[in-house]
Amino acid sequence: MTSSVLESIVEGVREDLAERRAAVPDAALRGLVEQAPAPRDALAALAGGRTDPAGVRVISEVKRRSPSKGVLADVDAPADLAAAYEDGGASAVSVLTEGRRFGGSLADLDAVRERVTLPVLRKDFMVTEYQILEARAHGADLILLIVASLDDAELRGFRELAESLGMHALVEAHTPEEIARGVASGARILGVNVRNLKTLDVDPARYAALAGDLPEDVVRVAESGVESEEQVRQYAAAGADAVLVGEALVKHGTPADALRAFRAASLSAR
């Protein structure tokens, strides 16, 4: 079910999680969840991108590095970057919180949540209920669930837990089989990541090849491969409601301008 790359990442995630869980036991975490600000409606924020007169929705990512590219950018002030995203018309902000491979942290999530009014996605490798409670305690409105790293019971159970806390789940698939599993789990926001988990290669054409497997009644998200306006145009033409963009924005000198250009480019695909 999983690739060696994904397994390695998840192994590290579990080790780091054990340390955090020892510092903040489950009972204490549930108390923090009760004190967290009310969640924002990520589903509403991302829906309708296929017909939005301003173009597809954009989930803009706060991301320092990746396993495939190494260091992408010095993000000393994630809150400032997120504010630029909001100014540029982002519909949500994704914050990497995995530390070993991506250089993220829950502190980044806290900083972004305090600064922006947009829904915030905690982007991490979610393999336990504790992480979902942790996401809500730190103000997340949306979590990522990677089909390849979860069995069917976990996939459905984690989504239901997130929704019981007022959040939503972006369910990420890479293959037709994973899309079918995501649909069966009740996913309402379904993403296709065009990155190959085994090689880490990116093939933007993969989204169009798989788009026909996505139901009409889910929010469709194209993930990875956005380096130019043309790729956004391609994803929009294939029916994406939203695109998730990280590297192209964190490396851009004026990310707000890049965001506006991406949304405008998607209109020419209609």
- Out of 86, 98, 134, 172, the active site residue is 172
Sequence length of the chain is: 270
123 is a catalytic site residue: yes
| Residue 61 CA from chain centroid, whole number | 8
Token pair 């996605």 in the structure block, residue: 121
CB of 250 closer than 8 Å to CB of 72: yes
Query: Is 129 in the active site?
Result: no
The H-or-E segment that residue 121 falls in is strand 120-123
One-character DSSP codes across 163-211: HHTT-EEEEEESSHHHHHHHHHTT-SEEEEE-B-TTT--B-THHHHHHH
In the residue annotation, 61 being an active-site residue is answered as yes
Q: Which of 60, 66, 224, 266 is catalytic?
A: 224
Q: Is 196 a catalytic residue?
A: no
Q: Is 94 labeled as catalytic in the residue annotation?
A: no
Which listed residue (86, 123, 134, 247) is catalytic? 123
Out of 63, 66, 149, 266, which one is annotated catalytic?
63
Which of 61, 98, 134, 178 is an active site residue?
61
Structure tokens at 224: 């990875």
Which of 66, 94, 149, 193 is catalytic? The answer is 193
223 part of the active site: yes
Token reading at 217: 């009644």
| Whether 63 is catalytic | yes
CA quadruple 213, 199, 78, 262: dihedral positive or negative?
negative
Catalytic residues: 61, 63, 123, 172, 193, 223-224
